[in-house]
Structure 1
Amino acid sequence: MTISFKVNGISHEVDSNRAIDRLIDFLHDDLGLSGTKFCCGIGICRACTVASIRTPNETATPVISCATALAMVDGTEITTIEGVTPKEGLLPIQEAFLQEFSFQCGYCAPGYVIASQIFLDGLRKLGSLPSDLDAAIEKAVGSHICRCTGYVRYYDAIRKTAEAMFAKEGSHNG
């Protein structure tokens, strides 16, 4: 029996005897993908957040890879920071984080990028900003821990990116 899943669009199969191995260890040790950060090891800080899609659902959800066994990702598509970042350039949210000086050490940044991009993609599917954007941002990334205390700057960057996304889309629709 095997566990099958994709990481950044590439199919992988592991023997079921690895069912309890952590996803983050597979990403680091088997695939050499070190962008997903290991920090607390117990799923609290969220530095290790990756995106997961389970077919037929097309909506990504955040997954805490340090606390997720490989058995739990069977049949999913996982996207890491390496897979979400365009080959050339950066995502608008990454640019915003840089412009707002959101982080100092950057250790939490990959988790914030993944969670923020999932949030922004969800807003795009809704087609509008929520009436309380700040509360929605808090719900999306409020559990992420930044030891350098970049919270306000992260939130400002997410808010500005969301607002710009709809201002840009609105100019194309009008």
Structure 2
Amino acid sequence: MTMITVTINNEVHGPLDIDPEVTMLEFLHEYLNLTGTKFGCGQGICSACVIIQDNEDGTSEVHKTCITNAVGFNGKKLRTIEGHAELDKKGEIIALHPVQESFIKHFSFQCGWCTSGFTNHTIALIEELKRNPIPVDQVEAKIEATLGEHVCRCTGYVKYYAAVKDAILKTEGATL
């Protein structure tokens, strides 16, 4: 067993004693009851299980939780799909993240299984673009390069990509 402490959605969890073989996806589901991150393929291919890691230097990166052990996140600050909406004091949702709003506006998802991965990766992309903006004519290529690994079995790619492009173009400072 190994002791870990992680900050997830601005809440510290731990120290907790866990088996070092437990994946981060299992940890989120079984230890913390955060079930919004989905198990898709179990091989790190479909990206349904993507979460965001916030680094001390202000950057963020995405990780596939189905193939990454939870102990690798010891001491890290993470965000899951449950951490993006704005909540009131009772824990009720009062506002969705702009990316979530864009996905709804564009009817991006059908079954929704891949949505948490698309959402997290898109939020990380927009944060990256706010630090390093790109020309508008490069937005579609950047979306494809960033989200191209995501698998949507309902074939919602066109709507996802349209929603992501809309969200990027509406984010001040993301494009030149």
Structure 1 length normalisation: TM-score?
Answer: 0.88
Q: Between Structure 1 and Structure 2, how many residues are aligned?
A: 168
Matches within 5 A, 1:98-137: 98-129=104-135, 131-137=137-143
Matches within 5 A, 1:128-147: 128-129=134-135, 131-147=137-153
Cα distance in 2, alignment partners of residues 98 and 7 from structure 1: 25
Task: Give the letter for the 2:66 counterpart.
Answer: C
Gaps in structure 1 of 5+ consecutive residues:
none
Question: RMSD of the alignment, in Å?
Answer: 2.1
Q: Is the 1:52–1:79 contact (alpha carbons within 8 Å) kept by the matching residues of 2?
A: yes
Gaps in structure 2 of 5+ consecutive residues:
88-93
- Counterpart secondary structure, 2:130: helix
Q: Paired residue for 2:16, among 11, 14, 17? A: 14
Q: Give 4+ residue runs of structure 1 displaced > 6 Å after superposition.
A: 167-170
Equivalent position of 2:44 in the other structure: 43
Task: Give the letter for the 1:14 counterpart.
Answer: L
Q: Deviations over 1:12-63 (max 9, x none)?
A: 2223x52221111111111111111112111111111110123x33211111
Q: Tell which deviates more after alignment, 104-113 or 57-66.
A: 57-66
Cα distance in 1, alignment partners of residues 102 and 59 from structure 2: 23
Q: Deviations over 1:108-161 (max 9, x none)?
A: 011100000000111112245465111111122111100001111111111111
Q: Paired residue for 2:156, among 150, 154, 160? A: 150
Cα distance in 1, alignment partners of residues 173 and 65 from structure 2: 34
Structure 2 length normalisation: TM-score?
Answer: 0.87
Cα distance in 2, alignment partners of residues 59 and 86 from structure 1: 21
